[in-house]
Amino acid sequence: MGELQEFSNLIGGELRPASGGETLDSVNPATGAVWARVPRSTAEDADAAVTAARSAFPAWAAMPAAGRAHFLRKVAEVFSANAEELATIETRDNGRIITETSRRDVPGMTYLWHMAAAECGAAVEGKTVILGAGGMGFTRRVPYGVVVGIIPWNSPISTFSAKAAFALAAGNTVVMKPAEQASVSTLRLGELLREVLPPGVLNIVSGLGEEAGDALVRHPGVDRISLTGSTETAKIVTRASTDALKPLAFELGGKSPNIVFADADLDAAAKGVSTQSVFTANAGQVCVAGSRILVQREIFNELIGRVTAIAARIRLGEPLDQSTTMGPIVSREQYERVTSYLEIAAKEGAELVFGGRFGPELVDEPYAGGYWVEPTLYSTTDNSLRVCQEEIFGPVAVAIPFDTEEEAVAIANDSSYGLAAGVWTRDLGRAQRMFRDLEAGTIWVNTYRKMPPGLPFEGMKDSGYGHDSVLANTREKSCLIEI
């Protein structure tokens, strides 16, 4: 792993460099040093990948569900057999610490691919309707065709699996475009999976969004697009895909509220609003990060004291070290964005509770060139501040006091985003009211950031729409017959 490595696209079952021969540097965010190179793909590469997927589609779609399930189980075995390598690559590439990638991400994806295999049958099930004595109707589900998945840099292996597994289970063929900041784990998966999947069923093309990504979303041979990314990127994809009216699924940003009531278990809540939510192992680079911590006023100081004590025990450092509990920001660009909000918070008058430092002073050599930001918490009573309204995507949170349940709901919903929310309470009636009243696609009570594959994950408002289940990757036909 110490030598500079080069990776290739997977197109039609073959490993290929970019057609123009250009590459992009992959930077280890813990050190700031280049450790790998990936293809800087062109529109020609995007076209080749879509063409390969379209050629493979008829046979894959016609395969019995049990046959597709067989292949998906083989993919799950690849994850299991290569777990240590995949976890290490993901950690090296985006800074997500090894205890997360090795204990949570890769094992979870082994389970997810097995689950997708088990759901292949759902993609071919329909319903029958009797239309009187002389006729009947029924539905059949069919795959869309070629599905493009655009995945983010914060959890490439997990998002790759969530998009590819269920699209393939439904009978689609797939082209995946990883984020240019962290493509290596996805490209390595391509090397491994070409040995177990038919050629062209899965294709992977790395490169810049404005080059390879734009060519994919505009391609007339693409039938569905699924993006996990920013709201601004979703708007660009929407405009680029309008000529062909492609179905879209967007899982976007968030500014999620994590609400603590006075009757909550405060020990559990303190962990739930800190290390489980925004001061995470991957430095708060989580779409559902609970970056607005709403606390009932009578327990505000007590809870913030507990959160402060937890944050003091967080250890930044080498992501491959088992004792590290928080990694770096993924790239210099994102690091500069996160640190700019520390200046914004100060100018807006938010009170610094703890943290606020960034840069080489936080770590020892050889990590001084990495992109380090320590857990940071501000306090304010003004939810209109930019640090309360804009997604930061780093280990930065704002604590806001409230008095009543109604006030908590009003503050929580005062956001353009609606991805997720957390609630900490022992009151079952209140929990049910919060499920009803909070404008969020996923709401947790007395837990946070649990996203089992059996439940849909879908946002509201600027957090997107649609999801990536097996049925979401199919369309229904109505069929009628007179007897």
The set of catalytic residues is 251, 287
Helix (H) / strand (E) containing 373? none
Burial of 407 (0-12, 13-18, 19+ CB in 10 A): middle
CA-nearest of 9, 453, 7, 26 to 202 is: 9
Q: What is the DSSP letter of 278?
A: T
SS3 category, 289: coil
* Beta carbons of 196 and 71 less than 8 angstroms apart: yes
* Beta carbons of 258 and 292 less than 8 angstroms apart: yes
The letter for the amino acid at 179 is A
Read off the tokens for 40: 């800087």
| Residue 111 to residue 469: CA distance in whole angstroms | 15
SS3 category, 264: coil
| Residue 33 to residue 25: CA distance in whole angstroms | 9
* Beta carbons of 189 and 160 less than 8 angstroms apart: yes
- Distances in Å between the Cα of 292 and the Cα atoms of 150, 309, 325, 327, 398 are 27, 18, 22, 21, 5
* Beta carbons of 183 and 7 less than 8 angstroms apart: yes
| Residue 62 to residue 224: CA distance in whole angstroms | 19
A 10 A CB-CB count for 80 gives: 15
* Beta carbons of 446 and 434 less than 8 angstroms apart: no
| Residue 94 to residue 367: CA distance in whole angstroms | 14
* Beta carbons of 83 and 106 less than 8 angstroms apart: yes
* Beta carbons of 294 and 402 less than 8 angstroms apart: yes
* Beta carbons of 409 and 292 less than 8 angstroms apart: no
- Distances in Å between the Cα of 211 and the Cα atoms of 129, 217, 310 are 48, 10, 43
- Distances in Å between the Cα of 35 and the Cα atoms of 4, 7, 205, 250 are 5, 11, 19, 31
* Beta carbons of 480 and 136 less than 8 angstroms apart: yes
| Residue 60 to residue 79: CA distance in whole angstroms | 22
State the pairing for strand pair 292-296/396-402: parallel
Using alpha carbons only, give the angle 241, 125, 201 rounded to the nearest 5 degrees.
Answer: 50
